[in-house]
């Protein structure tokens, strides 16, 4: 199990940018690169895909995966993270933690500018953390409410004081969780309808240039980027291509230089592994550890009955899904905390694939078979991202029938799916949610009663259990890893019995890239990075 950072670092350490940049992030130094004959050079366009097309490019407003991918080039967080989830400098060049683990002091990089030329200062950090994300981020809200005081001793220093020690606090400052937003653009406005939402302004290595809906998104090198001489690339172009076969052909023939996330269907990956000019990389998901599940709306009877949800959990063969649909790229789910996330309890077991057990549970819930052997009819909203999700829906429809469950498939586009799930307008659906290295940061939000909201990435299922709420609160407030481990073990035991959602698969997406692309996947957040070090050669 990857440990996010040495415990001493959170208590008393200071991480200077010179040390971390040289050893922790996995990037080649200039001398190392030259020794290998691949010294970074400037110029060129990095072409890739984006699947599906996002509704907006500001990942602090929309939390869908395609938005985060592009947003991580435009925006930045205070920190970034190595493969072992060690915190590394980003907009914060160094930081200290007080001996009592209550005060975090971040020292900001010098000469950072927003893409419109305004200076990035401590005021932007305080605005982002105490105003914008408190309102807009259902996941970060609980974390940031622990901050009782946020001050700026000078324009390049931010001090955050917590109400109590919070062990995973330093894991929360990546660009996918807490991107920094420009105060001069957003303060005093309606964040959701601000006209500048269509022309995002960040501090990242690449600035928004053009978006032809349905065709492509173009980002251009920001000439005043705070790292001298970087980024190396001139442009990044995200092509919108709904057809999976055209995406596969494009990476094979060099029309695009890399693919990511949902771009390539899992059934095409084995063929691409054998192509000499391509690298298939599965690292870069250590921070996110995406967990796929069947979202279940507890407001719809009889889905509020845990026996029915247990029956759903018995109805699907997780190993078949991984081996036959995803061709081994991933692992069967074992519970609410992924096996790659801190505090995963391997003793926690899910219901096995057993249609007969599912039928018996439905019988016990009073759902007797009709003349066609159907005990329960449920509407199902598939995830409209690519062909693999359609194949999953068809498998689920066939598999559920063996248990006497009729899945009635509905259809929508990506924006419609997000709207419906966020508005609780569904019976069952498919979702995958990032874990963010620690259950308090990425798991808790989906199950605590206080986060039952009409917003995507919240507790949209409506599950509520006061005991689970109390255990998550205990784990959140404790500074003792052993105490947190015990609380999370009990949580996993309860949740795997009550099945608030039906966990299916621990996901890992391959990043497939041409060998002329360098430094593409160098962090535990993978493709969700600034790409300021990426070069072609």
pLDDT (0 to 100) of residue 138: 77
Q: Which percentage of the chain shows pLDDT scores above 90? A: 85
Query: Residue 8 above 70 pLDDT?
Result: no
pLDDT tens digits along 53-78: 999 999 999 988 899 999 999 999 99
Do the strands 291-296 and 502-507 form a parallel or antiparallel pair, or are they unpaired? antiparallel
Residue 4 has pLDDT above 60, yes or no: no
Using the 8-state DSSP alphabet, how is residue 402 labeled?
H
**pLDDT single digits (tens) 366-391:** 999 999 999 999 999 999 988 899 99
Task: With cut-offs at 50, 70 and 90, classify the pLDDT of residue 11.
Answer: very low
Domains located in the chain, CATH noted: 291-507 (3.10.105.10)
pTM: 0.81
Is the separation of the CB atoms in 312 and 354 below 8 Å?
A: no
- DSSP collapsed to 3 states, 277-288: CEEEECCCCCCC
Neighbours of 251 (CB within 10 A): 25
Strand 511-514 versus strand 258-259 pairing type: antiparallel
Partners of 210 in beta bridges: 218
- H helices present in 82-204, as ranges: 122-127, 133-136, 140-144, 183-186
User: In angstroms, rounded to a whole number, what is the distance separating the alpha carbons of residues 177 and 139?
Assistant: 8
pLDDT for the residue 37: 59
Mean local confidence (pLDDT), 457-469:
96
What pLDDT is attached to residue 33?
Answer: 58
CA 410 to chain centre: 25
Residue 15 scores a pLDDT above 80: no
CB atoms within 10 A of CB 219: 26
Can you give the length of the chain in residues? 537
pLDDT in tens, 82-121: 999 999 999 999 999 999 999 999 999 999 999 999 999 9
């Amino acid at each position: 199990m990857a440990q996010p950072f040495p415990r001493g670092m959170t208590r008393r350490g200071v991480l200077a940018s010179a040390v971390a940049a040289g050893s922790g992030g996995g990037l080649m130094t200039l001398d190392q690169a030259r020794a290998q004959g691949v010294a970074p050079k400037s110029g060129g366009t990095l072409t890739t895909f984006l699947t599906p097309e996002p509704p907006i490019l500001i990942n602090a407003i929309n939390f869908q995966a395609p938005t985060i991918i592009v947003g991580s080039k435009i925006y930045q967080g205070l920190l970034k993270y190595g493969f072992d989830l060690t915190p590394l400098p980003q907009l914060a060049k160094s930081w200290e933690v007080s001996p009592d683990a209550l005060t975090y002091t971040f020292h900001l990089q010098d000469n950072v500018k927003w893409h419109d030329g305004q200076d990035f200062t401590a005021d932007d950090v305080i605005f982002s953390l105490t105003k914008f994300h408190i309102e807009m981020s259902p996941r970060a809200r609980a974390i940031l409410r622990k901050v009782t005081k946020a001050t700026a001793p000078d324009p390049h220093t931010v001090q955050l004081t917590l109400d109590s020690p919070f062990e995973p606090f330093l894991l929360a400052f990546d660009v996918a969780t807490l991107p920094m937003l420009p105060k001069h653009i957003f303060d005093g406005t309606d964040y959701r309808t601000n006209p500048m939402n269509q022309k995002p302004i960040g501090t990242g290595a690449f600035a928004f240039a053009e978006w032809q809906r349905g065709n492509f998104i173009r980002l251009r090198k920001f000439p005043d980027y705070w790292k001298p001489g970087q980024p190396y690339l001139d442009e990044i172009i995200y092509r919108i291509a709904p057809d999976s076969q055209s995406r596969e052909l494009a990476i094979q023939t060099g029309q695009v230089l890399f693919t990511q996330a949902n771009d390539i269907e899992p059934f095409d990956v084995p063929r691409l592994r054998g192509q000499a000019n391509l690298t298939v990389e599965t690292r870069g998901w250590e921070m996110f550890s995406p967990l796929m599940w069947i979202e279940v709306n507890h407001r719809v009877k009889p889905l509020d009955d845990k026996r029915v949800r247990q029956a759903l959990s018995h109805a699907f063969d997780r190993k078949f899904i991984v081996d036959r649909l995803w061709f081994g790229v991933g692992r069967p789910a074992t519970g609410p905390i992924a096996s790659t996330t801190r505090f995963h309890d391997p003793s926690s077991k899910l219901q096995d694939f057993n249609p007969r057990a599912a039928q018996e549970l439905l019988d016990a819930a009073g759902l007797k078979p009709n003349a066609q052997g159907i005990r329960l009819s449920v509407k199902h909203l598939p995830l409209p991202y690519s062909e693999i999700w359609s194949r999953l829906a068809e498998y689920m429809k066939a598999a559920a029938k063996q248990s006497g469950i009729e899945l009635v498939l509905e259809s929508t586009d990506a924006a419609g799916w997000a709207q419906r799930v966020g508005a609780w307008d569904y019976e069952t659906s498919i979702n995958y949610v990032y874990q963010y290295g620690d259950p308090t940061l990425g798991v808790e939000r989906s199950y605590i009663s206080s986060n039952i909201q009409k917003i995507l990435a919240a507790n949209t299922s409506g599950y509520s259990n006061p005991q689970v709420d109390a255990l998550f609160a205990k784990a959140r407030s404790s500074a003792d890893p052993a105490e947190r481990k015990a609380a999370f073990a009990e949580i996993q035991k309860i949740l795997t019995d009550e099945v608030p959602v039906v966990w299916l698969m621990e996901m890992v997406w391959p990043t497939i890239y041409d060998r002329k692309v360098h430094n593409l996947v160098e962090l535990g957040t993978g493709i969700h990075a600034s790409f300021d070090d990426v070069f072609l050669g």
